[in-house]
Amino acid sequence: MTASPRDGKPFAMEQNSTPDVLVIGGGPAGSTAAALLAKAGRNVVLIEKEAHPRFHIGESLLPRNLDILERLGMLETVRDMGVHKPGAEFVSDRTGRSCAFPFAHALNKARTHSWQVRRSDFDATLFKNADRLGATTIEETRVTDIVFGGKDERATVTARTKEGVTLTFHPRFVLDASGRDTFIAGKLRLKESNKYNNTAAMYAHFTGVERREGELDGYISIHLAEDGWFWLIPLPGDVMSIGFVGNQSAWKGRKGTAKELFLQRIASSPTVSARVRNAEIVSEIYSTANYSYRATSGSGEGYLMIGDAFGFVDPMFSTGVLMAMTAGELGAKAADLWLDDPVRGAAACQAVNRELAQAMDRIGWLIYRINDPVMRSLFMSPKNTLWMRDGIINMLAGNLAGGRFGDPRAIIPILSFKAVFHVLSWLHRRGMGPNMPEARPAMVAAE
């Protein structure tokens, strides 16, 4: 366990502490919120259950991340640790074709690149930055319970260190950034899984994977396979992050060890297997089930859920870290306001949840249809009529915020894209649609 105070001197851990804000979870959401609150002069305690660095997926950042990193004073640091990412590539197993989506074509051209990072290093750097800006940071300590106070009363939060010491905190406000542990949502039984996206994932790090060159150098590759999709993310040091996200049919009846199952899925994809023929696994193989969920309510008297603690969508378009850091920034503003004016702060917390929910719905509309053969055909043959292609790239670059309708520049392009999708789907169901290689065999199977 490590801890440090606002003035940088050794911190004497006490049995009781009364910070302005207690942040549960030292990932991107929690570290961002703690850093910004400390920078604003608040007394903040940030608790992380593990020791940094620790393995995590979600290694592909988006251009909109860069604005937040700049406000945190970390832009150059992250640039030095990452692989330059100018866009995303989609590859079809069915046809073998590749289609590039460069961020330079996004409607919002303020940021036209990002980076791919080792999350272990990235998260550790964010955590240290919160400490640098004045937050009390505590590692290897798990929050075990929370008892909410009544109106104008502080909550009681209990945590347990690696050594077995019980710590008790009485913060004025709690930010739950506990990630997929969903600490408060789980305790209050507010977590609701997305029944329309019942998927599971397996992932690991490899070396010796064939990398893209030329204009596609640094691109994340999304390989559209049967019953799911793969990500291939180039990381520093010849490391490639590879993961497979599949629906129920992708795993039904599968037997063997985690390694055997993962290698079977890779072998079943002609485009992915071609790139890993000389590769070697250099990490453990991890798995996660029931990917998408959301809390039915994300805030209450003296608390707010942010990042994955509030909700999570399938990671196909690499929105995880951006959503987490955006939530951290919005959550910090709401908590800061709440400390001065609980009534206005409570309204701000509800606004944060609405903003995050709308952003998740916006990208979720695409994600939850990516296995639809008509959607796949549109992605593999994009048209820029009414700026539809550039509107999709705008979303892929992370321009998801902006209230109910998102980025105003993308309203017409995205509505046009949705209209085309619905019309083609209707025609295809009646056997009247155009020739779409992705659609023909899969639609027969679906019917």
Confidence of residue 440 (pLDDT cuts 50, 70, 90): very low
Task: Count Cβ atoms within 10 A of the Cβ of residue 67 and give its class: 0-12 exposed, 13-18 middle, 19 or more buried.
Answer: middle
Nearest to 100 by CA among 214, 210, 189: 214
Measured distance between the N- and C-terminal CA atoms of the chain, rounded to whole angstroms = 56
Average pLDDT over residues 416-433: 88
Residue 99 is assigned to a structural domain of this protein: no
- CATH of residue 142's domain is 3.50.50.60
Residue 6, pLDDT score: 40
Q: Could you tell me if 214 and 197 are in contact, meaning their C-beta atoms sit under 8 angstroms apart?
A: no
Residue 407, pLDDT score: 81
Q: Does residue 140 sit in the same domain as residue 234?
A: no
Alpha helices by DSSP H, listed for 224-284, are: 248-251, 258-267, 270-275
- Across 15-19, 76-80, 301-305, least confident range: 15-19
The type of residue at 261 is: L
Between CA 91 and CA 271 the distance in angstroms is 8
* Whole-prediction pTM: 0.91
- Across 11-20, 86-95, 364-373, least confident range: 11-20
pLDDT digits (tens, 9 = 90+) for 162-187: 999 999 999 999 999 999 999 999 99
Between residues 334 and 409, the one the model is more confident about: 334
Residue 337, pLDDT score: 98
Query: What b/e sequence results for 16-34 when a residue is b if at least 16 CB atoms lie within 10 Å of its CB, and e otherwise?
Result: ebebbbbbbbbbbbbbbbb
Residue 316, pLDDT score: 80
Nearest to 275 by CA among 307, 308, 309, 234: 234
Average pLDDT over residues 376-380: 93
Give 139-142's long-range contacts (Cβ < 8 A, gap of 24+): 139/1, 139/2, 139/26, 139/48, 139/50, 139/51, 139/52, 140/1, 140/2, 140/48, 140/49, 140/50, 140/51, 141/1, 141/47, 141/48, 141/49, 141/167, 142/49
Residue 107 CB neighbour total at 10 angstroms: 18
Average pLDDT over residues 50-55: 95
Domain C-terminal end among 270, 289, 308: 289
Average pLDDT over residues 46-60: 95
Nearest to 180 by CA among 199, 193, 196, 165: 193
List phi, psi (to 5°) of 32.
-65, -50
Nearest to 40 by CA among 335, 409, 322, 247: 335
Average pLDDT over residues 201-229: 96
Between residues 174 and 314, the one the model is more confident about: 174
Residue 333 token pair:
């503003």
Residue 98 is assigned to a structural domain of this protein: no
Residue 14, pLDDT score: 53
Residue 292, pLDDT score: 83
Residue 322 is assigned to a structural domain of this protein: yes
Query: Structural domain of residue 402, as residue ranges?
Result: 370-446
Q: Does residue 66 sit in the same domain as residue 146?
A: yes
Residue 168 is assigned to a structural domain of this protein: yes
- Output the average pLDDT for the chain: 90
Residue 97 is assigned to a structural domain of this protein: no
Average pLDDT over residues 273-278: 96
* Residue 317: pLDDT over 50: yes
Q: Does residue 167 sit in the same domain as residue 64?
A: yes
Q: Does residue 57 sit in the same domain as residue 122?
A: yes
Average pLDDT over residues 299-325: 92
Residue 302 token pair:
């003296």
Nearest to 114 by CA among 311, 275, 272, 317: 317
Helix (H, G, I), strand (E, B) or coil at 188: coil
Q: Does residue 344 sit in the same domain as residue 214?
A: no
Confidence of residue 333 (pLDDT cuts 50, 70, 90): very high
Q: Does residue 159 sit in the same domain as residue 209?
A: no
Domain C-terminal end among 314, 333, 362: 362
* Residue 311: pLDDT over 80: yes
Between CA 93 and CA 105 the distance in angstroms is 25
Q: Could you tell me if 114 and 66 are in contact, meaning their C-beta atoms sit under 8 angstroms apart?
A: yes
Confidence of residue 437 (pLDDT cuts 50, 70, 90): low
* Residue 343: pLDDT over 90: yes
Residue 353 token pair:
């949840």
Q: Does residue 250 sit in the same domain as residue 311?
A: no
Q: Does residue 188 sit in the same domain as residue 41?
A: yes
Q: Does residue 41 sit in the same domain as residue 151?
A: yes
Residue 156 is assigned to a structural domain of this protein: yes
Angle between helix 388-396 and helix 411-429 axes, rounded to 10 deg? 110
- Find which of 26-40, 372-386, 391-405, 417-431 is predicted with most confidence, using mean pLDDT: 26-40
Domain C-terminal end among 246, 265, 289: 289
Q: Does residue 161 sit in the same domain as residue 66?
A: yes
Task: Please give the share of the chain, as a percent, with pLDDT higher than 70.
Answer: 91
Average pLDDT over residues 75-81: 97
Residue 107 is assigned to a structural domain of this protein: no
154: left (phi over 0), alpha (psi -120 to 50) or beta: beta
- Across 40-54, 202-216, 333-347, 396-410, least confident range: 396-410
Radius of gyration of the chain (CA): 22
Between CA 284 and CA 281 the distance in angstroms is 8
pLDDT digits (tens, 9 = 90+) for 218-264: 999 999 998 899 999 999 999 999 999 988 888 887 788 888 999 99
Q: Does residue 381 sit in the same domain as residue 252?
A: no
Nearest to 275 by CA among 350, 191, 207: 207
Query: What b/e sequence results for 173-207 when a residue is b if at least 16 CB atoms lie within 10 Å of its CB, and e otherwise?
Result: bbbbbbbebbbbbeebebbeebeebebbbbbbbbe
Q: Does residue 146 sit in the same domain as residue 165?
A: yes
* Residue 2: pLDDT over 70: no
- CATH of residue 225's domain is 3.30.9.100
Between residues 87 and 151, the one the model is more confident about: 87
Residue 85 is assigned to a structural domain of this protein: no
Residue 7, pLDDT score: 43
Number of domains in the chain: 3
Residue 436, pLDDT score: 65
Confidence of residue 159 (pLDDT cuts 50, 70, 90): very high
